Amino acid sequence: MSGIKKPINIDIKEPYWYVKKAGKVGGKKVFEKYGLVGGNPDKRKKAWHDWWKKQGRLNLNAHFKPKDIKIPRKNRDLAEFVGIMIGDGGMSNHQITISSNYITDNNYIHFIKNLIKNLFGLDASVYRIKNSKCATIVVSRINLVKFCKSIGIKIGNKLKQNLDIPSWIKSNKKFHAPCIRGLMDTDGCIYLECHKTDKKKYYYPKLSFVSHSKSLRKSVCKILSDSEFNPRIRNDRSVQIEGRQEIIKYFKIIKTSNLKHLERFNKFFGGVG
């Protein structure tokens, strides 16, 4: 209209094109600083419910419809994902989270992200808490939460809901090893226990899975026993595999997806197995 030539090498943007990008950056910074997004969660939840009752539920559009996810079959990868969620996972009505250490478990974080992508076709986000070694893997998707509930993962406090391995995993032996692997890779460790006798030190290798759920400890112990291991429940909080040959057998049969555990195994046993 003005007769001025349009500049070259430019992109024409839609109105408010920057909102989604800026929201992600802002949300990440707030999470790193405060450990949550959106200020006071109780106040925000009340405001949302007030809006929903007055107008939100009456004017549904595409933005409010839950997005679809890829629904996987019950397979070994899904069993390992369940083990990870039982170990370090958490779930609300709208999202799943998995906590980890971004220094010692950096490679494992990438493994979990790829596992989620392969299973559900979703890209997980990773947030780091400021002044902390904690990293949180987050996927916000209502249909993912619904699916996780359908396969036995609990919303809210897991211990208060009798945390245990889902029956579809316990009843199928081909799912045993991957689920135990997911549990041990998140809530397990390999270490040397030191005993001193007559001024001499003796070191005993142990592989330990720790949980405050009695039901879960019993299930882990039974699965390991059925897999021809000799587990021990110690101090009413841990399931342990003890002795060199037992631990070597574990890394041959059950294996690990967490490089941290593999490096410690190679350190103690010189890469045997």
pLDDT digits (tens, 9 = 90+) for 178-233: 999 999 999 999 988 877 777 787 778 899 999 999 999 999 999 999 999 999 99
Task: State the virtual CA torsion across 99, 100, 102, 103 in degrees, nearest 10.
Answer: 160
- With 60 as the cut, is the pLDDT of residue 133 above it? yes
Between residues 49 and 273, the one the model is more confident about: 49
What is the predicted pLDDT for the residue at 81?
98
pLDDT-based confidence at residue 269 (cuts at 50, 70, 90): confident
Q: CATH homologous superfamily of domain 76-163?
A: Homing endonucleases (3.10.28.10)
Burial string for 75-105 (b: 16+ CB within 10 Å, else e) reads: eeebbbbbbbbbbbbbbeeeebbbebebeeb
81 contacts 115 by C-beta, under 8 angstroms = yes
Q: Could you tell me the pTM of the whole model? A: 0.76
175 contacts 168 by C-beta, under 8 angstroms = yes
Q: Per mean pLDDT, which range of 16-20, 95-99, 148-152, 176-180 is the poorest?
A: 16-20
- With 60 as the cut, is the pLDDT of residue 49 above it? yes
Average pLDDT over residues 151-163: 88
DSSP 3-state of 49? helix
What is the predicted pLDDT for the residue at 35?
66
Average pLDDT over residues 121-132: 90
Residues of the chain with CATH 3.10.28.10: 76-163, 181-269
Candidates 105, 99, 71, 75; CA nearest to 85 is: 99
Average pLDDT over residues 128-147: 91
- With 90 as the cut, is the pLDDT of residue 80 above it? yes
Q: Per mean pLDDT, which range of 115-119, 168-172, 232-236, 267-271 is the poorest?
A: 267-271
DSSP 3-state of 112? helix
| 145-151 CB contacts, 8 Å cutoff, 24+ apart | 145/91, 145/92, 145/93, 145/94, 145/95, 145/96, 146/66, 147/69, 147/71, 147/120, 148/85, 148/91, 148/96, 149/91, 151/74, 151/78, 151/82
Determine the CATH number of domain 181-269. Answer: 3.10.28.10
What is the predicted pLDDT for the residue at 92?
92
Residue 91 CB partners (closer than 8 Å, separation 6+): 85, 97, 145, 148, 149, 153, 154, 155, 156
**Above pLDDT 90, what percent of the chain?**
58
